């Protein structure tokens, strides 16, 4: 009984991996609630796609899985972790934030600031 359930879960997960690259990639650095949201969204989208593609008159045996997407994977864990930290640090950079904000303000002022004149 347990083996049959395990096979069903593995098959369902394989279907999601073949359709959504985000499920196929590594997820070590994500929080559990984020993973839950991703998996829930993928399951919902999969069900919507299957329902949309379903031909009510077609034989069930004609269904086939989508081709596996090409995903470039970094094998070295240290390199992947360093890239993650660099992206995180880049997002949290306050100087870059203020520079981008000020440039946006200048751009908007130049573009739209004199509309009242």
pLDDT digits (tens, 9 = 90+) for 61-89: 655 666 777 767 656 778 888 888 888 88
Residue 41 reports pLDDT greater than 80:
yes
Co-location of 66 and 81 in the same domain: no
Co-location of 78 and 103 in the same domain: yes
Co-location of 67 and 91 in the same domain: no
Q: Which domain holds residue 117?
A: 74-117
- Please state the pTM of the whole predicted model: 0.41
Cα within 13 Å of Cα(13), Cβ side: 9
Co-location of 15 and 39 in the same domain: yes
Which residue, among 113, 17, 15, 12, has the nearest Cα to 73 in the 3D structure? Answer: 17
Co-location of 42 and 83 in the same domain: no
Quick one: how many helices (H) and strands (E) in the chain? 5, 0
State the total domains in the chain: 2
Percentage, residues of the chain above pLDDT 90: 2
């Amino acid at each position: 009984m347990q083996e049959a359930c395990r096979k069903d879960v593995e098959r369902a997960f394989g279907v999601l991996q073949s359709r959504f690259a985000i499920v196929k990639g590594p997820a070590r650095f994500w929080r559990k609630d984020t993973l839950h949201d991703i998996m829930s969204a993928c399951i919902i989208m999969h069900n919507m796609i299957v329902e949309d593609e379903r031909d009510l008159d077609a034989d069930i045996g004609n269904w086939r899985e989508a081709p596996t997407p090409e995903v470039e994977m970094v094998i070295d864990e240290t390199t992947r972790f360093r890239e993650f930290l660099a992206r995180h640090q880049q997002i949290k950079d306050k100087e870059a934030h203020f520079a981008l904000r000020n440039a946006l303000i200048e751009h908007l002022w130049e573009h739209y600031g004199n509309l009242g004149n």
